[in-house]
């Protein structure tokens, strides 16, 4: 009985999360892509100028972003092209 009450209590949260995913704007998708990108690095790595290196100093011009190595680097929402947004929506089944 206790499990049933817990499951019934969590059901609205699952429904709300699904409803929020349906209403996700392009800006929200861009922010998620940036967060996923930056989160894919180890602590102390320097993907973005605002990241901090292993020694505690801000990466600034030593970052991958600042060096523009030819890779797709997403540190700011404006860096994310519309193709990435479309692919992210397809991959995670997020409607427009």
pLDDT at 67: 92
Q: What's the pLDDT tens digit per position in 45-96? A: 999 999 999 999 999 999 999 998 767 899 999 999 999 999 999 999 998 8
- Name the pLDDT band for 18 (thresholds 50, 70, 90): low
Name the residue ranges covered by the structural domains of the chain. 25-91
Contact between residue 89 and residue 80 where contact means Cβ atoms under 8 Å apart? no
28 by Cβ neighbours in 10 Å (0-12 / 13-18 / 19+) ranks as middle
Length of the chain: 96
């Amino acid at each position: 009985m206790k499990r049933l009450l817990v499951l019934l209590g969590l059901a609205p949260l699952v429904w709300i999360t699904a409803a929020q995913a349906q209403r996700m704007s392009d800006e929200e998708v861009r922010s998620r892509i940036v967060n996923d990108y930056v989160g894919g690095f180890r602590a102390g790595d320097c993907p973005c100028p605002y990241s901090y290196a292993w020694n505690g100093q801000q990466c600034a011009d030593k970052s991958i972003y600042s060096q523009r190595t030819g890779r797709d680097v997403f540190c700011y929402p404006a860096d994310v092209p519309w193709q990435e947004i479309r692919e992210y929506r397809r991959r995670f089944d997020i409607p427009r």
